[in-house]
Amino acid sequence: MKYYLTTPIYYTNAAPHIGHAYTTIAADCIRRLKGMQGYDVTLATGTDEHGVNVERAAIAAGKTPREYTDVIAEEFRQQWQILGLAIDRFERTTSARHAKVVQDLFLRCKDRGYVYKGTYTGQYCIFDNAFINDAKPGDPCPDCGRPTETVTEENYYFKLSAFQDRLLDLYTNHPDFIQPEIRRNEVLAFVRQGLKDLSISRTSITWGIPVPNEEKHVFYVWFDALSTYMSAVEGENLWPADLHLIGKEIVRFHAVYWPAFLWAAGLEIPKRIFAHGWLLFENDKMSKSRGNIVRATPIHKVLGTDALRYFLLREVPFGSDGSFSYDALVGRYNSDLANGLGNLASRTLTMIHQYRSGVVPRGESDNHVAAHAQSTVELALEAFERFDFSKGLEAIWGLIATVDKFIVERAPWKLAKGGEECAGALDSTLYTAAEALRVVTALLYPVLPQSAEKIWSQLGMPTHLDSVRVADLHWGHLAAGQSLRAVEGVFPRAEAKASIEKMKELEAEELVRQLALLGKTAPAAPTATPLSSAAAKAEAGNGQITIDDFAKVDLRVGMVKSATPVKGADKLLHLAVDIGEAQPRSIVAGIALAYKPEALVGRKVVIVANLAPRKLRGLESQGMIVAASVGDGAPVLAGFLEDVPIGARLK
Ligand code: MSP
C-alpha cells in the first residue's frame, strides 16, 4: 500500500534554517513511521523558485533568477542530505515537467469553465505572494507587516467562489482533512465569510511559468507552487497525496485554494493536511526577514542530527508554537539522550559483555517490565499516529525510567557475584533489560534513526532497523544466544558551555557562508546609499560624523504616486513622491532594473528631501530615494514594518 507525503516547497530567496528543517524532519519521521507500518512510502520536498521576491533577491545578488535559484535549490538539497533525511523526490518549480503539470492543470480548469479573464487592482504582498483583500494603498501586509504594493493588471481569474459549499461540506464531513482542530476552525471561519474569485496569473512579472497561449501572463506563484505536489510524482500513480505537512501560515492556500483547483480540474484532492506551529527564537517566528535564524548544520556537527530531531519533536507539541534555545537543546540532550537512553544502552550492553561474554542469555522476562513495554508500544504508536510526537516520546521515556529502576532494584552487579544460585535471576534481569532496550530502540527509529541504528547494531540484531515492522515491537522477539557487537557510546555527554559556544561559532561561520551564497559579502546590514555630500565630507575625516552633521539631512517618508520609465535610460525611473507638501516631489531614481514602475505606485519610501535639485536626462530631481545597495550595487528600497504617515521625519 502506498503512502505519499509532502513538505512545503521552500522559497529560494533565503537559505535553509531550522524552521525549514523542522517540517522536513517531522516529514522524515512520519515517513519512517509509515515504513514501519508496512507502507511503501514516498516523501517529496522541493523548492519554490518563481515570483517577484525571488527575482528581486536574484537581482540584488547580481545573478539571473535561474543562476540564483540553482544555487539555493542545491543548498536545500544538500541540507537534507547532511541531516540524513530520507527524501525520495526533490522537485523544483523551474523544472520542465513541473511547468507542464501546471499548464495542464490550468487548461483542465479552463476547459471545465472555472477560469475567466478580468482586471485586477489591489494591494499585493510580494513577500507572501498574496493579494491582501480590503487593503488600501500603503497598508502593511497583515501577515508579515511589510508594505503592500498596488497592482493593476489583466489577470486570469479562478472561480473560487463556486467551491464555497463544497469546501464547507468537505471540512464538515471529513474533519481530519485539515488538522489540528484550531486550524480547521480558522479555515471554516474564513470560508464561511465568503470566497472571492482568485487571480491566478500575472502580467507584471516575467519570472514564472507562462500561461499557455498567453505570452504576457505567468502563473500566480501559489497556482504554480501547489502543483509541485503532483509534478514531484508525475506518472507514478501516487496521487492523491496522503498527507501535506505544512506550517500554520500557509493553511489557507492548502486547505482552500488547492482542493478547489483540483476539483475544478476534475482531479482528486489530498487526503489530509496537517499544519504545525512556528518555531520561535527570541520570542519571534524564526525567519530571514526578522534576522533571528538558527541553522541546523552547527547543531548537527556538535550534537548530531538526532539531538536536533529529538529536541524539536519532544520539546514542541506538534501543532503548537515552541521556542528554540541552545540551553534547552543541550539540557534535553544531556538529560534525556546522554543520561536516559544512552546510559540505559551502555549499561545493559556492557553488563551482558561482562557477565555473559557478550551473548544474550536465555532468561525469563520480568512481567512488570514486559507489560509496561507492551502498553508503551501501544501508547507511543497511537500518539505518533496522531503526530503527537511529544506525547509518544514522553511515554517511551517513561519505559526507560522503568527499566532503569528495574536494573537498580535487581542489582545485576550483585547477582553476578552470587554464583550459580543467582544465575537464573541474572539471566532474567539481563534478558529483560536487553529486550526492553530492543523495543525502545525500534520504537525510536522514526525519531532517532541514526542513533537507534547504532544501538540496534550493538545489540547484535541481524537486520537493519529500516526493515523492522510494527509487529517486531512485540515483547519477546529478542533471540537468546545472539552475540552483541562492541559497545560504543551513542550520546557522549555534552559540556553545556563549551558546546553552546561551539555551536554559536559554527553558526557565525554558516551565516557568512550562506550570505556569500545569497550574493552578500558581509554579515552586517547592507550599506545604505550615501546620504549627502556634507555627511560624506565629514565621514572622510575619522569615519565619524556628529549628530549635528546628521541633523542636516532631512529624511522624509513619502508615498510614490506615479512611476514612469525614463526614455533612453534603462536604469532610471521618474517618480512623483508625496511627502505631505502641496505638490509631490519629482524624483529621478536609478532603480529601474530592480523595480517595475507599477510595483512602486502606492509604496512608502524614504527620501532625502533637502538635497539640492539637479537635472537628470532633462528631468528635475528634487531629492533622492534611499535604498540599500546589495550585491553588485542593486538597490533595495528602504521601508517600514509599521504604518508610517506620509511626511514623517526620520531622526
Ligand atoms: N513556498 C511556500 C510554500 C509553498 S508549498 C506549495 C513557502 N515557503 S517557505 O520557504 O516560506 O517555507 C514555509 C514553510 O517552512 C512553513 O510552512 C514551515 O513548514 C517551514 N518553516 C519556515 N520557518 C519556520 C519556522 N520558524 N517555524 C516553523 N516552520 C517554519 O511558504
Give burial (CB, 10 Å; 0-12/13-18/19+) of 283.
exposed
Task: Report pLDDT for 110.
Answer: 97
In the reported structure, the alpha carbon of residue 9 is separated from the centroid of ligand 1 by a whole-number distance in angstroms of 8
| Ligand 1 binding residues, C-beta < 6 A | 8-11, 19-20, 22-23, 48, 225-226, 228, 246-247, 249-250, 278-279, 285-287
The candidate with the shortest Cα–Cα distance to 82, out of 295, 310, 336, is: 295
Residue-wise pLDDT tens digits, 38-82: 999 999 999 999 988 888 888 888 899 999 999 999 999 999 999
- End-to-end CA separation in angstroms for the chain: 64
Mean pLDDT of the region 279-291: 77
Atom number of ligand 1 nearest to Cα 250 = 17
Lowest mean pLDDT among 105-109, 430-434, 606-610: 606-610
In the reported structure, the alpha carbon of residue 318 is separated from the centroid of ligand 1 by a whole-number distance in angstroms of 15
Rounded CA-CA distance 154/216 in Å is 10
Atom number of ligand 1 nearest to Cα 254 = 6
Rounded CA-CA distance 319/183 in Å is 9
Mean pLDDT of the region 422-426: 97
Tell me which of 7, 29, 48, 101 to substitute to probe ligand 1's pocket, judged by most ligand atoms within 8 Å of the beta carbon: 48
Task: Report pLDDT for 631.
Answer: 62
Smallest CA separation from ligand 1 atom 15, residue: 20
In the reported structure, the alpha carbon of residue 535 is separated from the centroid of ligand 1 by a whole-number distance in angstroms of 42
In the reported structure, the alpha carbon of residue 247 is separated from the centroid of ligand 1 by a whole-number distance in angstroms of 6
In the reported structure, the alpha carbon of residue 2 is separated from the centroid of ligand 1 by a whole-number distance in angstroms of 26
Residue-wise pLDDT tens digits, 367-391: 999 999 999 999 999 999 999 999 9
Give burial (CB, 10 Å; 0-12/13-18/19+) of 159.
middle
Tell me which of 5, 6, 12, 250 to substitute to probe ligand 1's pocket, judged by most ligand atoms within 8 Å of the beta carbon: 250
Task: Report pLDDT for 545.
Answer: 65
C-alpha cell at 396: 517511551
Is the pLDDT confidence value at 533 over 50?
no
The candidate with the shortest Cα–Cα distance to 584, out of 572, 599, 570, 600, is: 600
Confidence band of 521 (pLDDT split at 50, 70, 90)? low
Atom number of ligand 1 nearest to Cα 7 = 19
Mean pLDDT of the region 335-353: 98
In the reported structure, the alpha carbon of residue 501 is separated from the centroid of ligand 1 by a whole-number distance in angstroms of 28
Is the pLDDT confidence value at 619 over 90?
no
In the reported structure, the alpha carbon of residue 540 is separated from the centroid of ligand 1 by a whole-number distance in angstroms of 44
Smallest CA separation from ligand 1 atom 30, residue: 19
Question: CB-based contacts of 527: which residues, under 8 Å, 6+ apart?
Answer: 628, 629
Half-sphere exposure of residue 408: CA atoms within 13 angstroms, side-chain side: 8
Q: Read out DSSP for 45-74?
A: EEEE--SHHHHHHHHHTTS-HHHHHHHHHH
Tell me which of 22, 49, 52, 283 to substitute to probe ligand 1's pocket, judged by most ligand atoms within 8 Å of the beta carbon: 22
In the reported structure, the alpha carbon of residue 34 is separated from the centroid of ligand 1 by a whole-number distance in angstroms of 23
Residue with cell 537559505: 15
Tell me which of 10, 30, 288 to substitute to probe ligand 1's pocket, judged by most ligand atoms within 8 Å of the beta carbon: 10
Atom number of ligand 1 nearest to Cα 226 = 6
Residue-wise pLDDT tens digits, 286-308: 777 677 889 999 999 999 999 99
Mean pLDDT of the region 31-37: 98
Comparing 140 with 231, which gets the higher pLDDT? Answer: 231
Smallest CA separation from ligand 1 atom 28, residue: 278
Task: Report pLDDT for 569.
Answer: 79
In the reported structure, the alpha carbon of residue 109 is separated from the centroid of ligand 1 by a whole-number distance in angstroms of 27
Task: Report pLDDT for 566.
Answer: 86
Residue-wise pLDDT tens digits, 95-137: 999 999 999 999 999 999 999 999 888 888 877 777 787 788 8
Mean pLDDT of the region 570-590: 88
The candidate with the shortest Cα–Cα distance to 455, out of 347, 361, 383, 297, is: 347
Is the pLDDT confidence value at 599 over 90?
no
Question: CB-based contacts of 633: which residues, under 8 Å, 6+ apart?
Answer: none
Mean pLDDT of the region 591-602: 88
In the reported structure, the alpha carbon of residue 602 is separated from the centroid of ligand 1 by a whole-number distance in angstroms of 28
